[in-house]
Chain A
Amino acid sequence: MKQNKNIFGNQIVKPIIWSFFLLVFSNSLHSQMSARLNAYGHINFESVFSDTTYSNFSLGEQELFINAKFNDNFSFLGEITLNYSGHGNYRLNIERLRLKYNYYKNHSLIMGKFHTPVNYWNDVYYHARLFFPTIDRPLMFSKWIPVHTFGMRLQGQNIGKNNFGYDLLIGSGMGSEDIHNVFKETSITAAVHWKPTDEMRFGFSGYLTSMDDASEMAAHSHGGGEHEMNMYSGPLDFQMLNASIAYFGEKWEVLNEFSFNRTKTDTLGVSNNISNYTYVGRRFLEKNVAFTGFDVLYTGENDLHTYPYDRMKFILGYKYEYSERLNVKAQIEYYTNIYDDHTHDHSIGSKYEFKIQMSYGL
């Protein structure tokens, strides 16, 4: 297995970054800048019924979103969240911070930190729960979806009459932090999508990276209900394929996220892992949505990235939208293991959860 994962060098990266910033600010001197500031947040209530029962009423992520235009071609986007980290403390995170250069029609070059466009959810919803169809992200987000990437991205959208889109990006790997060791590992993402109608989008993506220390999982530490730490700190190769189908019409809403990944270590060899999330909603009286969902995730017995794990989650819920900036969701969830025959020693039992979430945007 290759040990040197760094394909970027300071001789290459620094001149590109400085050229980009010079291009942005030299252009912005000649035009008027416009900026827009929004805030998003949510408040949660949850009750968990398993061996022990407890309830929590908590502040969720609170965030600031800024979108600014330097001129017709250059724009800036920033998304910063504030999360409760215990004992009255809050943690500040930069979730997105990017400069975009729209160089030709609907084709752009983007630099900075952004959500990895591996599936519909991660490319459309980001951190504002206001836009989530269900209260939590799919289970795959807590295990292997690389939520963020820091790097460079070529993006195209709404191309041709069939509205094709593409993303090609190269950047930090899963273990990289936002500030330190940004280019310690490298990831490559290639994604395409197609919007045959305004309400529908199909997407397909591939992602690959190699990591020196698989225990560092900064890029996908976003819980979809359950999250565990990785104890394996050795090298690991990771390849992933995703497919998304989204339809958000006047009456029906459907979202399916499929993810398959293959991990390889010198210790235990190759492991194939799979997950699928399905959401179906029925809108009535314009602002009400009754929905159901099914989420399943399975990792192989020899996987050292997320460790052996099998889980199913059933969701039944209701959403009421007071306005486009305020909604309330309530849902009942049932978690259980796929294998409940004591042949798998990683069973963590069954449980029910009841959740209410109020999310808003200002």
Chain B
Amino acid sequence: MVYRLRYTLIILLFLVNGYDLNSQITLNDFSIVVIGNNTGTKKMSETTIKQYFKGKYNKWPNKKRVIVALASSKHPKVEWYSNLLFNKSFFAVKKYWYSLVFQGRNDAPYFFASDQELIEFVKLNPGAIAIVEKSSKVPEHLKIKLNE
């Protein structure tokens, strides 16, 4: 019953909005690598990893606090990364996070101007995650594989 209601509502939204909920870009399609430090997992589904970036979980399976690191407005790939992770523009991502922090539901994410800065931050902070381009020099132990 709940599932039927859910899918009816999604279909209704699709008709009203013209917004294709299934057309989200997948991280596997692009030259992107997910990096994380001491998250207690080396492999994760794309859906789950995106939920961590959206602040849906406060802790990793190993009970470390989730620290989200994102590209800042100065990062050359900021719009691309925002679209990949959130299916939103960077403007909408900032609004989303600004509201979540004010609600007291999540800690604020950290923003960085380059892939190198993102990698350095993740390297120094247990529980931190980010995405960077595969061409960046990423230590093997930080990589999280996507299993779908």
Contacts and interface: CB of A to CB of B under 8 A. Distances in A.
Interface of A: 36, 38, 65, 67, 69, 72, 75, 77, 96, 98, 100, 102, 105-106, 123-124, 126, 128, 131, 157-158, 162-163, 196-198, 200, 247, 249-252, 286-287, 321, 323-325, 361
B91 A72 contact: no
A3 B55 CA distance: 45
Nearest to A165: B105
A92 B17 CA distance: 43
Contacts of A77: 104
Most-contacted residue by chain A among B2, B17, B19, B105 (CB, 10 A):
B105
Interface stretch (B28-36, B58-66, B132-140): B58-66
A197 B10 CA distance: 8
Nearest to B50: A198
B57 A106 contact: yes
Interface in B82-102: 88-89, 91-92, 94-95, 98-99, 101-102
A158 B56 contact: yes
B13 A247 contact: yes
Nearest to B6: A196
A27 to B, nearest CB: 13
Contact of A252 (B2, B10, B17, B65): B17
Nearest to B88: A250
Contact of B102 (A65, A252, A323): A65
Interface in B107-127: 107-108
A324 B111 CA distance: 15
Contacts of B102: 38, 65, 126, 128, 131, 361
Contacts of B99: 124, 131
A196 B10 contact: yes
Contacts of B94: 323-324
B5 to A, nearest CB: 9
A166 to B, nearest CB: 14
A69 B98 contact: no
7 contacts: A67-B108, A72-B59, A126-B102, A162-B2, A196-B6, A247-B13, A286-B89
Interface in B1-36: 2, 6, 9-10, 13, 16-19, 21
Given A100-B104, A124-B99, A361-B102, 12 more contacts: A105-B59, A106-B56, A126-B102, A128-B102, A157-B105, A197-B21, A247-B13, A250-B88, A252-B17, A287-B91, A323-B94, A324-B91
B145 interface: no
Interface of B: 2, 6, 9-10, 13, 16-19, 21, 51, 54, 56-59, 63-65, 88-89, 91-92, 94-95, 98-99, 101-105, 107-108
Contacts, number: 78
A77 B58 CA distance: 16
Contact of B107 (A69, A198, A324, A325): A69
Given A102-B58, A198-B54, A252 B108 contact: no
Contact of B95 (A75, A126, A162, A324): A324
B16 to A, nearest CB: 7
Contacts of B88: 250
A69 B54 CA distance: 19
B19 to A, nearest CB: 6
Contact of A158 (B19, B57, B95): B57
Contacts of B57: 105-106, 158
A75 B17 CA distance: 39
Contact of B91 (A128, A163, A286): A286
Contacts of A102: 58-59
A321 B89 CA distance: 14
A46 to B, nearest CB: 25
B58 A106 contact: yes
Nearest to B21: A197
B104 A361 contact: no
Contacts of A196: 6, 9-10
Nearest to A108: B58
Nearest to B61: A105
B91 A105 contact: no
Nearest to A283: B92
Nearest to B99: A131
